[in-house]
Amino acid sequence: MQRKEGEATKFFAQQMWLLVPIQGQVTELFSDFADFPYQDGSSLNAGNINYTLLKRTEALERLKQPEVMRTPG
């Protein structure tokens, strides 16, 4: 079974009526993306929990709390 040339073009031309209405929906969806900062994705995976992560978490918690500087002597 051999396809004629231009079948893909013909298919997209026949489905063009879908692209115009959906264009407004896509524009609406992406209209507020600039209002939100970019964030790297993360996954909840128990395999990612290790001592380095726990030490970093502990260090971040210490940074959130002010420490009293001690003077030598």
pTM given for the model: 0.33
Task: Give mean pLDDT, residues 43-54.
Answer: 71
Mean pLDDT of the chain: 78
Question: Mind listing the pLDDT tens digit for each residue in 11-46?
Answer: 888 888 877 788 888 888 888 888 877 766 666 666
Task: Give mean pLDDT, residues 67-73.
Answer: 66
Q: Calculate the CA dihedral of residues 56, 57, 60, 61 and round it to 10 degrees.
A: -140
Q: What is the 3-state secondary structure (H, E, C) of the chain?
A: CCCCCCHHHHHHHHCHHHHHHHHHHHHHHHCCHHHCCCCCCCCCCHHHCCHHHHHHHHHHHHHHCCCCCCCCC
Crossing angle of helices 7-14/16-30, nearest 10°?
A: 60
